[in-house]
Amino acid sequence: MKIDRETGLLGGVRWVSSPNQDERPAGVELDLVVVHGISLPPGEFGGAWIDALFTNVLDPGAHPYFAEVAHLRVSAHVLVRRRGEVTQYVPFHRRAWHAGRSSYQGRPDVNDFSVGIELEGADEVPYTAAQYRALARLLRALFAAYPALAPNRVVGHSAVAPGRKTDPGPAFDWGRLRKLLDRAK
């Protein structure tokens, strides 16, 4: 995987443009990666529902849960599906709307300085080997393209919105991810 710094796009992956993005504040450097977990409906995987949510076309009548979230204007930079397929929604140099009310190490508005990566999953459901491999490849590409990003600058959504968010949850194996990143050195 390689990122084109000019366009902010990851080569060789599926692209679906989300309208839920804007410019980052002037002079703000990318220096954090936030890992999320998402499933729509909750606990179910596959289908076009995540694309629909991130592009503001989720049908609130298609599932009872969708009525609660269809009005949200959210996005992530990237989604990693259960089989490791990657979809990009927002160029990395632009601000995706993934962290909501958030802060990290005293800095508010985490969306301003972070990349949001969604893993298709749920807090209590183990993530797949294909997802860990794809995430490690993606992170290595981000580290190569944006020097302020590094393994110690990768956190869960729960770390930037404690008490409000729990993802990627206890099923996410941070040690496994670190081993995959260490092997690439």
Residues annotated as part of the active site: 118
**What is the greatest pairwise CA distance in the chain?**
48
